[in-house]
Amino acid sequence: MAHTRLDGAARRRNRRSGVIGSAFAKDVRRTMTHHIGRFLSILVITALGVTVATGLQAACTDLKRTADAFFDGRHLHDIAIVSTLGLTDDDVRALGDVDGVKAVEGRYGETAIVDLDGSRTKVTVNALPAAGTDAADSKVMDEPYVVDGRLPADGDEVAVTQGFLMASGLRIGGKVTFSADDTASSTGKGSESSDAATEIFKQHEYTIVGTVIDATDVGGGEGSSTAFRKSSTVPDHTFFVTGDAVNDDARDVYTSVILTVDGAADGQSFSDSYKTDVDVVRTRIDDISEKREKARTDAVKAEANATIDKEKAKTDKDLDDAETRLDDAGRQLGQQRAYLVMLGMDTTQIDAAQRRLDEQRNTLNEQRSKAETEFADARAEVEKTDEAQWYVRDRTALSGYSSIDSDSKSIEAIGTVFPVLFLLVAVLISLTAITRMVEEERGLIGVYKALGYRKREILAKYVVYALLACVLGGLLGDAVGFIVMPKILFSIFATMYQLPAYHLYFDTAYGLVFAALFIVAVVGSAIWACRSELRLDPAALLRPKAPRAGRRILLERFGPLWRRMSFLNKVTARNLFRYKSRAIMTIAGIMGCTMLMMCGFAIRDSVVQLRPNQYGGVVAYDLMAVTGDDDNADALRRLRASDEVKDVLGVRVDSGTVSAVDGGREENVQLIVIPSGEEQRFDDYQHLRSAQSDWSAALGGGRRLTPTDTGAIMTKNAMQMLGLQPGDSAHFKDSTFSGVDVVIRDVAENYMGNSIVMTQKLYERLFGKTYRANGMLVHLNGDDAAQMSFADALKRDDAYLSVTSVAELRHEFEKNFTLINTVVYVLLVLAGVLAFVVLFTLSTTNISERERELATIKVLGFRRGEVRHYVNKEMLLLTLIGVALGLPLGRLVSEGFTMVLRMPGIYFAVHVHWASYAISAVLALGFAVVVTFVTNRMLDRIDMVGALKSPE
Share of the chain above pLDDT 90, in %: 14
* More confidently predicted of 905 and 866: 866
Q: Residue 432's pLDDT band (boundaries 50, 70, 90)? A: confident
Window from 43-52, 459-468, 569-578 with minimum mean pLDDT? 569-578
Q: What are the sequence ranges of the domains in the chain?
A: 85-262, 297-388, 579-616+809-952, 645-780
Exposed/middle/buried for 943, CB within 10 Å: 0-12, 13-18, 19+?
exposed
Report pLDDT for 12. 47
Q: Are 81 and 391 in contact (CB under 8 A)?
A: yes
* More confidently predicted of 117 and 610: 610
Dist. CA 409–CA 396, nearest whole Å: 14
CA atoms within 13 A on the CB side of 937: 5
Is 170 strand, coil or helix?
Answer: coil
Is the model's pLDDT at 339 over the cut of 60?
yes
Q: Residue 151's pLDDT band (boundaries 50, 70, 90)? A: very high
Q: What DSSP string describes 621-676?
A: -SEEEEE-GGGHHHHHHHHHT-TTEEEEEEEEEEEEEEEETT---EEEEEEEEEPT
Report pLDDT for 230. 52
Distance of CA 295 to the CA centre of its chain: 40
Mean pLDDT of 59-65: 88
Report pLDDT for 189. 34
Q: What is the pLDDT of residues 608-645, one digit of tens each?
A: 888 888 888 888 898 998 888 888 888 888 888 888 88
Cα pseudo-dihedral 595, 599, 600, 602, rounded to 10: 130
Q: Are 204 and 152 in contact (CB under 8 A)?
A: no
Residue among 135, 132, 85, 84 at smallest CA distance from 106: 135
Which alpha helices (H) appear in 75-161, and where do they start and end? 89-96, 134-137
Q: What is the pLDDT of residues 867-902, one digit of tens each?
A: 887 788 888 888 898 899 989 888 888 777 656 666
pLDDT mean across residues, the chain: 81
Is the model's pLDDT at 947 over the cut of 60?
no
Is the model's pLDDT at 604 over the cut of 50?
yes
Report pLDDT for 912. 84
Is the model's pLDDT at 827 over the cut of 80?
no
Q: Residue 513's pLDDT band (boundaries 50, 70, 90)? A: confident
Report pLDDT for 945. 61
Using only C-alpha atoms, the chain has a radius of gyration, in whole angstroms, of: 40
Residue among 842, 396, 879, 852 at smallest CA distance from 594: 879
Element (H, E) at 160: strand 157-161
Residue among 267, 285, 275, 269 at smallest CA distance from 99: 285
Q: Are 230 and 53 in contact (CB under 8 A)?
A: no
Is the model's pLDDT at 588 over the cut of 60?
yes
φ, ψ of residue 518 to 5 degrees: the values are -70, -35
Q: What is the pLDDT of residues 834-864, one digit of tens each?
A: 888 888 887 777 777 777 777 777 777 778 7
Is the model's pLDDT at 526 over the cut of 50?
yes
Dist. CA 16–CA 804, nearest whole Å: 84
Report pLDDT for 903. 64
Mean pLDDT of 19-45: 74
Most trustworthy range by pLDDT among 67-76, 334-343, 350-359, 557-566: 67-76
Is the model's pLDDT at 807 over the cut of 80?
yes
Q: What is the pLDDT of residues 753-767, one digit of tens each?
A: 888 999 999 999 998
Q: Are 238 and 206 in contact (CB under 8 A)?
A: no
Q: What is the pLDDT of residues 246-284, one digit of tens each?
A: 988 888 899 999 999 998 888 888 888 898 899 899 989
Report pLDDT for 591. 86
Is the model's pLDDT at 322 over the cut of 50?
yes
Window from 354-358, 520-524, 678-682, 895-899 with minimum mean pLDDT? 895-899
- Beta strand pairing call for 729-733 and 109-116: unpaired
* More confidently predicted of 304 and 24: 304
Q: Residue 227's pLDDT band (boundaries 50, 70, 90)? A: very low
Mean pLDDT of 418-441: 77
Report pLDDT for 49. 83
Dist. CA 671–CA 754, nearest whole Å: 9
Q: CA distances (Å), 85 to each of 179, 658, 737, in order?
A: 22, 20, 10
Q: Report yes or no on whether pTM surpasses 0.95.
A: no
In 314-377, DSSP assigns E strands to: none
Q: What is the pLDDT of residues 392-411, one digit of tens each?
A: 888 888 878 888 887 787 77
